Structure formats: structure tokens, C-alpha cells
Amino acid sequence: MLFRKKDNSDLALIKEEILRKREAQKVKKELPQGKAFYLVNYSLEGKNSSQKVQFNYKLTGRKGQEGLLQELGGEKISSGCFLVPVDRFGEMEKLLKEEKVKYNKRKIALLED
């Protein structure tokens, strides 16, 4: 066996990092280059189904309407993860706090190839 049982977490971390890099490459093509963003990871743990749906509608919109993320010039990366410009994060943070959503953020810069 290549990995011992306790090393499975290392394998999961490596896989996660590879997926992040792939997603970042896709996003780089879609967002303005050379701009600072926050990479935000959030969790809706503890919320019921209705609360989760309502939060996602506010974040990404519904039935052709833009959500806050689009209004701020952000981009959804995956479930529980999005990018938002640093200079617009205050508005996003207000929503996250109002909805009592747990999150963490990391400042990143998208650079030209």
C-alpha cells in the first residue's frame, strides 16, 4: 500500500490543492487581471435547507436576477467558495454577518500570465 491509513489526510490535502489550482486557472481567464481579491470559504453548517437556499439566492441571484456576488464583481468558484474584490468586501461581509455564516478569507492577486 502506497499510503498508510493515517496519511490519507495528506492525500486529501494534495488533491484539494490540485483542484484549487485548476479552478484558479479557470477563474484567471474570467476575471480582471492584476487586481486584489479575497478568496472566501464559507460554511452553511447548522442552517436548515430553506436558510441555505435563501442565502444562495442572495449571494448568486435567482431567475435571471443578479446576486450580491455579481453586483460586487465577484465570481463563485465552487460550493462554499467565491472571489470578491478587496475594495468591495465590506458589502459582502455585511451579508455574511447578517446571515451568521461562518467564513474565512485569504487575500490573493490575480496576475497576468
Residue ranges, the chain, pLDDT below 50: 1-5
Report pTM.
0.66
First to last CA, the chain: 39
For residue 3, the model assigns a pLDDT of: 45
At residue 8, the pLDDT reads 57
Looking at residue 46, its pLDDT comes to 92
pLDDT at 63: 87
- How many separate domains does the chain show? 1
What pLDDT, on the 0 to 100 scale, is given for residue 4?
47
> For residue 55, what pLDDT is reported?
94
Beta bridge partners of residue 103, listed in sequence order: 42
Structural domain including 77 reads 5-110
- Do the Cβ atoms of 82 and 74 come closer than 8 Å? yes
